[in-house]
Amino acid sequence: MKRLFLSTLLFFHAFGYAFAEKKAENEITISGNDTMQFDVKNFNVTAGEKVKIIFKNSGQLPKIAMGHNLVLLKKGISAIAFGQKALGAGANAVNPLPDSLKGDVIASTKLLGPGEQDVVSFTAPTEKGAYEYVCTFPGHFAMMRGTMTVK
């Protein structure tokens, strides 16, 4: 009986330790709306931590007219400049993030219509600082921008 107790105790101790070692994701929910605004303009993460962004289109207008995505850019890349570059690369209402630009991107969601959501997970950069995010649906970059700060 004593042996069974010790075995059980060791099992739960090992299980608990393994569970405690698993690092939880930092989960952020962001919405985009019909007035071309993100509801979260700034958020903080810790360098190297796992991050999950849940992105929702809370608008009502059709996707072809007011679709939204969220594109997280590498450090030092301006959302405005990237939006202009996307337009120059042929971004449109069906393909707002041309493949030729993906080298500047840490993570991105798909283009969403009203009521849709997408989830993107990534590891936060190890370099501290500001990382901008933007909606690359044509013209939205002028207003739909935000900043992830790595601490």
Q: What is the pTM of this model?
A: 0.84
CA distance 69 to 105: 13
Q: How far is residue 97's CA from residue 72's CA, in Å, rounded to a whole number? A: 12
User: In CATH, what number does 24-150 get?
Assistant: 2.60.40.420
Per-residue pLDDT of 84-141, as tens digits, reads: 999 999 999 999 999 999 999 999 999 999 999 999 999 999 999 999 999 999 999 9
